[in-house]
Structure 1
Amino acid sequence: MEEFGVLALPFLGTSLGAAMVFCLREKMNFRLEKFLLGFASGVMIAASVWSLLIPALEMAEEQGGNAWFPAAAGFLLGVGFLLLLDMVVPHLDRENARPEGMKTGFQKTTMLMLAVTLHNLPEGMAVGVTLAGAMLENTGMTMTGALALALGIAIQNFPEGAIISMPLRSTGVSRIKAFWYGVLSGAVEPVGALVTLLLAEQVVRILPGLLAFAAGAMIYVVVDELIPEAQAGDHTNIGTIGAAVGFVLMMVLDVAT
């Protein structure tokens, strides 16, 4: 039961954030949005380092051979995987008027939801592979560490859920529909986590590579989407402050547990 709670935490964070569409004004404060985008970036960078890359290096070293190779290869494959999805899956980023990916007849709201779903996928993968490491023997990973990662991503997903659902109101979508779009965008997280968890249990030897793969996918999202949005326009220092706060919070959650 504890494992299912860890898997569900990030999705719960997204859903609670999406529910803010019922409480806040139709448009989020510009400065607050900058801070939250930076905050999400900081959390994901810290999680990639302390919860994924460092354990991957340590685990590979214990297995023997070149400790850096599985981490480097997995990281680059994770970046390439998200790059491929970005090129193939039709989606529309909030700051981009032109749809990306394959051409389709999807509505704007569907394209926006697919964009956020792409960003949520690596977070689910990260939780799944970390949880798998905690459940397996002789990996050096703990259930407490997996819980810390899931909690950190859930905290990051709360403002992200609001950033997803609230802009949909400006496109004419009702509050209820905007909420459900936000919820559905986060549904990929427990699914991705469960699939990754099942795969990781079958391939213990490449678990370091899977950890680094999830890290690469998360960093791709940060560099390609979150940081550019946080640094666009005025008040870029607010996004920088948010990134620092998010980074320190996730680092403390991981190191202190």
Structure 2
Amino acid sequence: MIELRTPAEIEAMRPAGRFVAETLATLRDETKVGTNLLDIDRRAHDMIRRAGATSCYIDYHPSFGASPFGKVICTSINDAVLHGLPHDYNLRDGDLVTLDFAVAVDGWVADSAISFVVGTPRDEDLALIQTTRLALDAAIAASVVGNRIGDVSYAVSQIAHADGYSINTDFGGHGVGREMHGDPHVPNDGKPGRGYPLRAGLVVALEPWFLQTTDKLVTDPDGWTLRSVDGSRGAHSEHTIAITDDGPIILTDRSFLGVD
């Protein structure tokens, strides 16, 4: 069921969005060559506890997960792009890191993801990350009253295709509210003018993610981490936004922190 939020409810979602933004900015600043993925998870767990927030991941057990996730943040490295389960791995120079983080504050959820490189970056990795960011910007710009889900999906796919990336539609954006995942599903490819009409009060997480040379995924033995079938790298950018009569509000915006 698709739920629309009142202006007061959207305001009540702002603390969750701000906390997610601050946490991701902090973790990105602290993540270096040599950082262990389990230390990233422990740091995020500590920040959640100090803020009195609630993790959306630790007990999460959807049909596609082998077991409850058991951690509070997704850490996807290099050819892993989604649902990366933190494990004992020290980051190496040039690793492409994706952090995906969702919590509830006072019962309201916010969800966001960032990709970045530790150490010396490859040009092709920076280009991939930039494409996901531009696609996210395009999706947000298309998220206005009067458009449809297909317009948002089409905006993402146009950016991806222009840069030569193919698109997997198994996982994409989704409704956000009292739960992390709700209706509507927002795929990263679609046809303009199709799908659910966007209305004021709709809150969604938009999340373009692309792989360099494929759109096919395989699941790690951990039952969670999704990787490219050919070993090519992936990147992922995500914001939770609220659609209003005055335009989209980015609830997980990090610009006030001086970061993108």
- Structure 1 length normalisation: TM-score? 0.27
Looking at both structures, which has the greater relative contact order when contacts are Cα pairs under 8 Å and sequence separation is at least 6?
1
Task: Kindly indicate which of the two structures has a greater share of residues assigned to helix.
Answer: 1
- Structure 2 length normalisation: TM-score? 0.27
Task: Kindly indicate which of the two structures has a greater share of residues assigned to strand.
Answer: 2
